[in-house]
Structures are given as C-alpha cells and as structure tokens.
Amino acid sequence: MTDFITVADVDALLGSDWAGAGDPALSVMQANAWLTSKIKRPVPAEVPAEIKQAGAQVAKVASTGGLYKATQKEVLSKTVSATSGTSVSKTYAEGSTDLSQGENLALALIYAWVTGTNSIPMVRG
C-alpha cells in the first residue's frame, strides 16, 4: 500500500474535526488502501493536490464507516409484477455496490491516474 495522504494532510484540507467520532488514523489508512487499489499510473514523489484531495474525501467517508462495509450476496435478478402482463425487472451486476458522494468525487479527482497506462484521454472541443 502506498501512503498518499496523512492525517495532517486531511486536517489541512478539511479541518481538524473531519473525522467526527471516527478514528482519523484508521480512516486515513483505509483511504490510502482505496487510493492504492484505484491508481494505475505512476505518481510523482510529490503527491499531486488532486490525489491528496481525493484521499481526504475518501478518508471522510471512511470515518463514518461508509467506505469498507460488510457486503451481502448480490441480487442478480429481481422481478416485480403489479398486474397480469406488467412487471418491472432489475438485474444487478455481480459485485456492484453503491458509491458515496465522496467516492465519486475522489474518482473524478484521480481520473488521470485511474486510467490504464496505455490510455490517452480524449479531449473534445
């Protein structure tokens, strides 16, 4: 696991009360594990501000217990029928989970490091 952020980094970005009743050190460790699992490209020795901000957002989610939570078996298919001939059906991808606002923001911030090493982002004008 790479240490992209520290508790001091998160304190500087979000203020010293960001963890609430959560454990700041555990939350930062979880955020670093999350970032390590997502980032696919080399990161400069001086960690970019976007990665630190992403880590801070994820650490905040982790401090509430919302980052690594227990999972249940995934529903692969579900059908609800209201009346004869009408129904609503949903199929969930195996292993899919809801992402928090903080996780979605973090993914947007680290997009350049999440894409594969052979990918070139396209810019449309």
In whole angstroms, what is the distance from residue 9 CA to residue 35 CA? 15
The pair phi, psi for residue 56, each rounded to 5°, is -65, -40
Q: What is the pLDDT of residue 28?
A: 97
Q: What is the mean pLDDT of residues 107-114?
A: 87
pLDDT confidence tier of residue 18, bands split at 50, 70 and 90: very high
Q: How far, in Å, CA of 30 to CA of 90, rounded? A: 32
Confidence of residue 27 (pLDDT cuts 50, 70, 90): very high
Mean of the per-residue pLDDT values of the chain: 84
**Alpha carbon distances (Å) from 25 to 16, 20, 35:** 13, 12, 15
Residue 95's pLDDT band, with cuts at 50, 70 and 90, is: low
Q: Per mean pLDDT, which range of 19-28, 30-39, 61-70 is the poorest?
A: 61-70
Dihedral sign computed on CA atoms, order 96, 98, 101, 103: negative
- 84 pLDDT higher than 90: no
Residue in the block written with tokens 């609503």: 88
Q: How many CA atoms lie within 13 A of 37 on its CB side?
A: 10
**pLDDT band at residue 122 under the 50/70/90 scheme:** low
Tell the residue number behind the tokens 């992402």, with chain if given. 99
